[in-house]
Amino acid sequence: MFDQLFNCPTAITRHSSAPLLEQRLQFLRHCQTNGSPRSTLRRKARELLVVINELKLQSDGLIRVEDIERSAHEWAYRQPTHFKLRDAQKTKAHFISIAKQWLGFLNRLCPKSEPSYTRFIDEFAIHMYRDRGLSDMTIRSECGHVKAFLSQYAADNDGLSSITIKQIDDAIAQKGNHDGCIRSSIRFYAASLRAFFRYAETNGWCSPGLAAAIIAPRVYQYESIPSGPSWEVVQQLPASCGGARPICIRDRAILMLFAIYGLRSGEVQRLRLEDLDWDKELIRIVRPKPRTTQNYPLIRPVGEAILRYLKEVRLQRPSRHIFLTLRAPYRPLSGSALWKVVSDRLRPLGIPIRHYGPHSLRHACATHLLANGLSMKEIGDHLGHRDPASTSVYAKVDIAGLREIAEFDLGGLL
């Protein structure tokens, strides 16, 4: 295989005579099967030799994640510095990534020891999914808040018994005083801790009364107007993805789904090939919060954009998800990748909005439907809201309607 990757006879000999030959070849063939191009395989082959040397790998035995991280740090910050080294942190991340991929493939990776409080978070996540029916994104966010708090204040030997309300208050105050979070973010953080400690109290994990004592900043329901670009700006986004570049073809289809259907990032991320019914011209959306499915008519421009992406860019890939990365290994787009798709198109326009991610297009879609005379019920159904209060916030952006109310003749009552 190395004679296919390298042209230099010395390089071929070096890789063929290095330790753990069969294990390296198995991994490289696996990467090749998953679509990794020749350039990626060459890079991985070189990195595997570094991993073997720095970790002093033998033919058997488990390797701890802590040892990988320590060796990666020593390699990235070695002295004297290699003349090609420009970003030590990036080099360290590459080392850790390839080592964990390879050793995980060989089943030689010893999992990193988790703190004792991890089991509490895992049980809390199961409770939120099974008993409260929350979406995966909400569960990840709330568990992230709890994990950040417990990593700072929970003692391994005492579990949660040593947690005090003062520590919780200090953590909430830190969000505003040092982290610069806005009130709504602080409120969500406090609500996550309150929900966790309420569940912890019912299971006897912590002292009683903690949840009831958690105080969050007041946030008024209608204190801010939903932030999103105007519909005229939204109409410019698909045009900015013109051309035959693969990234433009893919991003055009994604932007049209966000803007026309007002989909959430997770809903686009979860779209699969079987969700497209080409015969009936329907697209099926899995709503994460109500945990229901909703069928939409597949509008011709959207269908044509998706079909072009499938035929010219995505081609035949093992994954059933519609939107994949453009480079091997081909995998579903992450939430941050979808955020970047929208942000990279909105920011150059220089429009003054608070957020540049997919949710801003959801707001723009709702505002456009409201301006075209749709009722709150119709808008809520289109957006997949399960609570009418979630839709009523858009009543504030109907400026024309508010002006009509202001100009209404009260017939001498004033």
pLDDT tens by residue, 192-211:
999 999 999 999 998 899 99
pLDDT over 70 at 409, yes or no: no
Considering the entire predicted model, what is its pTM?
Answer: 0.64
Q: What is the pLDDT confidence band of residue 227, given thresholds at 50, 70 and 90?
A: low
Residue ranges of E strands in 27-104: 63-64
Buried b (16+ CB within 10 A) or exposed e, 142-181: bbebbbebbeebbeeeebbeebebeebeebbeebeeeeeb
State pLDDT tens for residues 254-312: 999 998 888 888 899 999 999 999 999 999 998 876 667 889 999 999 999 999 999 99
Side chain identity at residue 258, one-letter code: F
All domains of the chain, ordered by start, with CATH? 2-110 (no CATH), 118-213 (1.10.150.130), 231-401 (1.10.443.10)
pLDDT mean over 234-238? 85
Going by C-alpha positions, the residue among 403, 351, 401, 393 that lies closest to residue 371 is: 401
Question: Contact, 394 vs 226, CB < 8 A?
Answer: yes
Residue in 264, 314, 345, 368 annotated catalytic: 264
The identity of residue 395, as a single letter, is A
Burial of 65 (0-12, 13-18, 19+ CB in 10 A): middle
Strand partners, 294: 285
Give tens-digit pLDDT for 87-145. 777 888 888 999 999 999 999 888 767 788 888 999 999 999 888 888 888 899 999 99
Catalytic residue among 44, 92, 252, 289: 289
pLDDT at 401 over 80: no
| Res 411 pLDDT > 60 | no
Please tell me the predicted confidence (pLDDT) of residue 383.
81
Average pLDDT value for the chain:
84
Stretch (H or E) spanning 21: helix 21-33
pLDDT attached to residue 412 = 43
Q: Please report the pLDDT score of residue 414 as a whole number.
A: 41
The confidence score (pLDDT) of residue 354 equals 77
Of the listed 15, 100, 270, 362, which one is catalytic? 362
- Helices marked H in 283-384 — which ranges? 300-309, 335-346, 358-371, 376-383
Three-state DSSP state, 409: coil
| Residue 82 annotated as catalytic | no
What pLDDT, in 10s, does the model give residues 346-379?
888 888 877 888 888 888 888 888 888 888 788 8
Q: Residue range 60-67: average pLDDT?
A: 87
Q: Which two tokens stand for residue 188?
A: 């969500």
Judge whether 43 counts as a catalytic residue. no
- Model confidence over 150-181: pLDDT tens digits? 988 886 666 788 899 999 999 999 888 777 78
Q: Is 132 a catalytic residue?
A: no
Active-site residue 362, yes or no?
A: yes
402 band by pLDDT with thresholds 50, 70 and 90: very low
